[in-house]
Structure 1
Amino acid sequence: MADPRFFRVAGPFTLAQLAELSGASVAEGCDLGASFVDVAPLEQAGQDNVSFLDNRKYVGAFQASKAGLCVIAPEMADKAPEGMALLLSPDPYRAYARIAQAFYPNPAPEPWVAPTAWVDASAAVGEGCRIEPGAVIGAGARIGARCRIGANVVIGQGVVLGDDCTIGANATVSHALVGSRVNIYPGARIGQDGFGFAMGPQGHLKVPQLGRVLIGNNVEIGANTTIDRGAGPDTVIGDGSMIDNLVQIGHNVQLGRGCVIVAQVGISGSTRMGDFVAAGGQAGITGHLKIGAGAKIAAQAGVMRDIAPGETVGGAPAVPMADWLRQSAILGKMARKKS
């Protein structure tokens, strides 16, 4: 259960309400009026808690759980302990996420502008915003309604934030147009110069970076991630994309809708990703590539060529996943023979 010092729980909710919220169906024989007060992991849940099972590795924990209600796939129903109420869904984790959001909604911020914050007279701040101590809002910036601006955040000149955005402490945002419901976590850097130089033995001449960063709606950008502005074309982050901590996105990169970029990925300049591309942790992607929609890039892969839509690659240099697994198996056999 969540620590009440940090999280405020809503509810309780009845089984009927949770079924409606989650889109899951109620197993036969369950009491629709039964009430539940919180969500909890299988191992910690009690009779008035909701839990879930989404991975067969945890069937043992599921069968030993004291949870009063569990969200599971229909084919797991016959493995449930006696007396446990069940919500059945083909996607239990997604159904559980909706339930957890109901118990722990993201409330609107308490409106406040700290005395030590600095808001330029030409900036526009929407209704219901909270601006923490030390924050700076630059000239001509526009902040939408109900935004949270953390301590020591810098919002640069002309930046636009949509409604219901959260900018974490010490983050900086410049040269950017940001959609609504965007979370930028502490320490992130958005819109700084891209790494652009005319290089030569006589010295490296800086190329002015004249583009912007365009961030769509419902985007998350993790702590200490950096997204450089474009050199002329814009750097674009599509709607619904999720970017983990410590990611580097170079100038002119374009991410489609719903991309998932895991920690420590580096994407070099001018690479374009289609919708719903996933890149595993520490993958490196060189510049000027096209990564097709739905492609998957394994952790620590080194991508040096275009990737077709729907293709899954791994290794360095990255190759189709089946080839990488075969190569790894052969190398392992060779190493064992030598030893």
Structure 2
Amino acid sequence: MSMKLSALAMELGLEHTGADIDITGVNTLEKAGPEDLSFLVNPKYQHLLETTKAGCVLTSGPYADKAQRALISDNVYMDLAKVMNIFARPQGCLRGISELAYVHPEAQVDESATVYPFAFIGEGASVGPKTVVFAGVYVGEHTNIGANCILYPNCVIMGGLHLGDNVILQPGAVIGGDGYGYAQTPAGHMKIPQIGTVEIENDVEIGSNTAIDRAALDTTKIKRGTKIDNLVQIGHNVEIGEHCLVIGQVGIGGSTIVGNGVVLAGQVGVADNAKIGDGAMVGAQSGVAGNVEPGSKIAGTPAMKAGTFLKAASVCMPKLPELFKRVKKLEKELAILTAEAAGGDCNE
């Protein structure tokens, strides 16, 4: 794809400096060529402006005059995302419904949808306008898929679920598998049937190999605008609010409620039945066992105020080996004193 710099600036509503050129791609300052657009956000990389071969640099006003050509932005990351959406090549090469796909006679697939070979769409299921169902996708019976969704290869959407519009499932995501529920009996663990559902609202993206369990009863719910990374486990009856960020390898126990705008960093573990308030941020590898107040920033295991954890981790923990040596020395000295005192009592 090629686009004039002036046309790109107009598309983004930005001012540009320097002569008009053709832009054919996006790359880093180090790797960009004369027809590439690059970007600068962090000031510590501004020295690369002296050596970059980029045809144009998307950046904020203070650095615009240091580039041969610049697109001037007040929000570089946002405008970079827009540029990359313009130049991104969509996955896939087919249109329409393949004869090699299985579509149940009682399923409804919009004529504008695309269904790749070896996809399965079950009885009573529906697929909305312009949705793309890639190869190897399983859509269970009576599941509803909205408009403009992308279901990448080998996704599984079990029966009786609902996906809204503009939902993206990355390869291997599993939606609506059974929640982890067993009753202990004298004969062993008896499976508790999981007869609830999963509802995923509009504009949600779910990463590769993430699993979202169906509810035991009622609904597991992911609200609109939330973005979930790869390898995340979300238990049965969990509710995640609007516009949350859930980063890789997070695990959320059953019946937990996560508010709006929450950030759960990588490898956070949340116990069953916890409540995380709106706008809370939980640091990487933290363990959350109880409720989290709205707007709070916590970290560590068990989770505590982020500032307290950082002080403990950066100030106290490095001193533990020395403290251990001191304690061992004091124990020896105390043992000697105790023995001497005991001996003194006997002599008396």
The TM-score, its normalising length taken from structure 1, stands at: 0.89
Residue 209 of structure 1, CA deviation: 1.7
Q: 1:55 aligns with which of 38, 42, 46?
A: 42
User: Is residue 221 of structure 2 the alignment partner of residue 230 of structure 1?
Assistant: no
Q: Distance in 2 between matches of 1:239 and 1:63?
A: 43
Q: Which residue of 2 aligns with 1:326?
A: 311
The 1:150/1:336 distance shift into structure 2, 3 A limit, reads: farther
User: Is residue 239 of structure 2 the alignment partner of residue 254 of structure 1?
Assistant: yes
Deviates more, 1:195-204 or 1:222-231: 195-204
Q: 1:306 aligns with which of 271, 275, 291?
A: 291
Residue 304 of structure 1, CA deviation: 0.9
Read off the aligned partner of 2:218 and give its amino acid letter: P
Residue 89 of structure 1, CA deviation: 2.1
Deviates more, 1:66-75 or 1:228-237: 66-75
User: Is residue 12 of structure 2 the alignment partner of residue 22 of structure 1?
Assistant: yes
Matches within 5 A, 1:91-240: 91-104=75-88, 106=90, 110-174=94-158, 175-200=160-185, 203-240=188-225
Task: Find the residue that maps to 1:191 and give its secondary structure.
Answer: strand
Q: Distance in 2 between matches of 1:90 and 1:164?
A: 30
Residue 278 of structure 1, CA deviation: 1.1
The answer as to whether partners of 1:12 and 1:35 remain within 8 angstroms in 2 is: yes
Residue 37 of structure 1, CA deviation: 2.2
The 1:63/1:238 distance shift into structure 2, 3 A limit, reads: farther
Q: Distance in 1 between matches of 2:57 and 2:119?
A: 43
Read off the aligned partner of 1:330 and give its amino acid letter: C
Residue 129 of structure 1, CA deviation: 2.1
Deviates more, 1:156-165 or 1:303-312: 303-312
The answer as to whether partners of 1:273 and 1:293 remain within 8 angstroms in 2 is: yes
Residue 246 of structure 1, CA deviation: 0.8
The 1:109/1:212 distance shift into structure 2, 3 A limit, reads: farther
Instruction: Report the structure number with the largest CA radius of gyration.
Output: 2
Q: Distance in 2 between matches of 1:11 and 1:294?
A: 41
Q: Distance in 2 between matches of 1:127 and 1:321?
A: 52
Deviates more, 1:85-94 or 1:200-209: 200-209
The answer as to whether partners of 2:259 and 2:278 remain within 8 angstroms in 1 is: yes
The answer as to whether partners of 1:223 and 1:244 remain within 8 angstroms in 2 is: yes
The TM-score, its normalising length taken from structure 2, stands at: 0.86
Q: Distance in 2 between matches of 1:20 and 1:12?
A: 11
The 1:75/1:251 distance shift into structure 2, 3 A limit, reads: same
Q: Distance in 1 between matches of 2:215 and 2:149?
A: 22
Partner deviation per Cα, 1:139-192 (whole Å, 9 max, x = no partner): 000001122212121100001111111112121101310011111111111011
Read off the aligned partner of 1:244 and give its amino acid letter: D
Deviates more, 1:134-143 or 1:190-199: 190-199
Matches within 5 A, 1:258-269: 258-269=243-254
User: Is residue 10 of structure 2 the alignment partner of residue 13 of structure 1?
Assistant: no
Residue 335 of structure 1, CA deviation: 2.5
The 1:173/1:315 distance shift into structure 2, 3 A limit, reads: same
Q: Which residue of 2 aligns with 1:335?
A: 321
The 1:13/1:101 distance shift into structure 2, 3 A limit, reads: farther
Read off the aligned partner of 1:97 and give its amino acid letter: A
Partner deviation per Cα, 1:182-231 (whole Å, 9 max, x = no partner): 11111111011111223355533332322211111111111111000112
Q: Which residue of 2 aligns with 1:36?
A: 23
Q: Distance in 1 between matches of 2:305 and 2:57?
A: 38
Residue 240 of structure 1, CA deviation: 1.3
Task: Find the residue that maps to 1:204 and give its secondary structure.
Answer: strand
Q: Distance in 2 between matches of 1:319 and 1:274?
A: 18
The 1:89/1:148 distance shift into structure 2, 3 A limit, reads: same
Residue 115 of structure 1, CA deviation: 2.8
Where structure 1 has 5 or more consecutive residues not aligned to the other structure, the ranges are: 1-9
The 1:299/1:103 distance shift into structure 2, 3 A limit, reads: same
CA RMSD of aligned residues (A): 2.0
The 1:62/1:267 distance shift into structure 2, 3 A limit, reads: farther
Q: Which has the higher helix share?
A: 2
Read off the aligned partner of 1:55 and give its amino acid letter: N
Deviates more, 1:112-121 or 1:319-328: 112-121
Read off the aligned partner of 2:39 and give its amino acid letter: F
Task: Find the residue that maps to 2:188 and give its secondary structure.
Answer: coil
The answer as to whether partners of 1:109 and 1:148 remain within 8 angstroms in 2 is: no
Where structure 2 has 5 or more consecutive residues not aligned to the other structure, the ranges are: 326-348
Q: Distance in 1 between matches of 2:76 and 2:190?
A: 54
How many residues are matched? 323
The answer as to whether partners of 2:118 and 2:136 remain within 8 angstroms in 1 is: yes
The 1:245/1:108 distance shift into structure 2, 3 A limit, reads: closer
The answer as to whether partners of 1:109 and 1:147 remain within 8 angstroms in 2 is: no
Q: 2:270 aligns with which of 285, 294, 297?
A: 285
